[in-house]
Amino acid sequence: MSIGPGVTCRNSNHTPVMVREVLDALAPIPGKCLADGTVGFGGHSSELLRAAGSEGFLYACDRDSNALSAATERLAPYSGRFEIRLGTFSELAQWVEENRCDGVLLDLGVSSPQLDEPDRGFSFRADGPLDMRMDRRQVLTAADLVNNTDAEELARIFWEYGQERNSRRLARAIERERRVNRFETTLQLAGFVERIVPGKNRKIHAATRMFQALRISVNNELGLLRSGLEAVWQILKPGGRLVVITFHSLEDRIVKDFGRRLASDYFSEGNVDIPELRKPKRPELRWVRRKSIQPSAAEVEANPRARSAQLRVMEKI
């Protein structure tokens, strides 16, 4: 394993997205204390540490132990100026002091090395076990979900997390097939999906949406994002900034709802917002930019993975 410029790990590359925009938003001037809740292969973290100078400090975590070892190696030149732990960003408030950080970064989703390693089972482009766990201490795998979940719940997962239009048809077909043939590998499942929903001239592989849905579900990505935003907000100091990079609308909606709720000067009790029943509260958040920031055309051309990235910046009041 060689971790150097470009963040290389077992022949895989992860090019961090929107680095310039992250640095602009977090302004890691010397001496700042920062946190990276999705350190991955350390691309953003190393840039942040470099910019924060010899007085700067970074807390970092990732739920993937491979990523953690790679990042630890990559950040070695900054030894003594960072603390890194295996775990989710929703656990950050358990080990980082309240109001401690000037800036926090969350760069959501999976990294290229995770996708490129067939053994991890995230991709339908190479054969591997149907796994998809970011944290391999977790028991539940994608194979467990596909083989044991009832068709109605599978259809919900495919629809809610993948917006898969054929969710019911696929779920029912899976339920029938697995009675005779358990799903064990990525290519087995991807090939099956292609047979069930054939279609010429499609722009994306037939299994793209289902694989996204399974990954989100196996890793409870949306639930952890909701609790994680609350946690990272606690470790930010007033005036500190939270930068979140999302890769699909489900994540972005959660970030927007979180920001709107904290920026609001009132709250409503119950599920329905009735203007007469609103109660005033102090806004805790300011949007630094009202709209999300997208990568430049040049970045998308150089790194197609960046094409769906959206960056949002919030400031704690």
- Interaction pattern, residues 13-42, with ligand SAM; x per rule: CB under 6 A: -x-x--------------------xx-xxx
Q: Residue 97 is which amino acid?
A: E
What angle do helix axes 151-162 and 167-180 make, rounded to 10 degrees? 140
Tell me: does residue 59 bind ligand SAM (CB under 6 A). Answer: no
Of 55-63, 162-170, 270-278, 293-301: span binding ligand SAM (CB under 6 A)? 55-63
Chain positions 105 to 124 lying near ligand SAM, rule: CB under 6 A, are 107, 109-111
Instruction: Single out the residue of 134, 193, 255, 285 in contact with ligand SAM (rule: CB under 6 A).
Output: 134
Rounded to whole angstroms, how far apart are CA atoms 46 and 207?
35
Tell me: does residue 295 bind ligand SAM (CB under 6 A). Answer: no
Rounded to whole angstroms, how far apart are CA atoms 87 and 72?
14
Tell me: does residue 96 bind ligand SAM (CB under 6 A). Answer: no
Q: Output 40 or 103, the one with its CB closest to ligand SAM.
A: 40
Helix (H, G, I), strand (E, B) or coil at 47: helix
Tell me: does residue 133 bind ligand SAM (CB under 6 A). Answer: no
Tell me: does residue 89 bind ligand SAM (CB under 6 A). Answer: yes
Identify the bridge partners of residue 103 per DSSP, sorted by sequence position. Answer: 34, 241
Q: Output 32 or 305, the one with its CB closest to ligand SAM.
A: 305
Tell me: does residue 212 bind ligand SAM (CB under 6 A). Answer: no
- Token readout for 169 is 């048809």
Q: Output 62 or 206, the one with its CB closest to ligand SAM.
A: 62
Instruction: Single out the residue of 3, 32, 43, 255 in contact with ligand SAM (rule: CB under 6 A).
Output: 43
Instruction: Single out the residue of 33, 52, 63, 141 in contact with ligand SAM (rule: CB under 6 A).
Output: 63
8 A C-beta contact, residue 83 and residue 39:
no
Q: Output 38 or 167, the one with its CB closest to ligand SAM.
A: 38
The single-letter DSSP state of residue 90 is G
Please give, one letter per residue, the 3-state secondary structure of 108-172: CCCCHHHHHCHHHCCCCCCCCECCCCCCCCCCCCHHHHHHHCCHHHHHHHHHHHHCCCCHHHHHH
CA torsion angle 160 166 167 170 (round to 10): -150
Q: What DSSP string runs through 190-248?
A: HHHHHHHS--TT-SS-TTHHHHHHHHHHHTTHHHHHHHHHHHHHHHEEEEEEEEEEESS
Q: Which residue has the tokens 């005779």?
A: 180
Q: Output 107 or 315, the one with its CB closest to ligand SAM.
A: 107
Give min distance, CB of 43 to ligand SAM, in A: 3
Tell me: does residue 158 bind ligand SAM (CB under 6 A). Answer: no
Rounded to whole angstroms, how far apart are CA atoms 231 and 67?
22
Question: What are the distances in angstroms from CA 203 to CA 112, 115, 168, 200, 250?
Answer: 21, 19, 22, 9, 21
- Interaction pattern, residues 227-266, with ligand SAM; x per rule: CB under 6 A: -x--------------------------------------
Q: Which residue is nearest to ligand SAM (CB)?
A: 40
Give min distance, CB of 192 to ligand SAM, in A: 27
Residues in the site for ligand SAM, rule: CB under 6 A?
Answer: 7, 14, 16, 37-38, 40-44, 61-64, 67, 88-89, 107, 109-111, 134, 224, 228
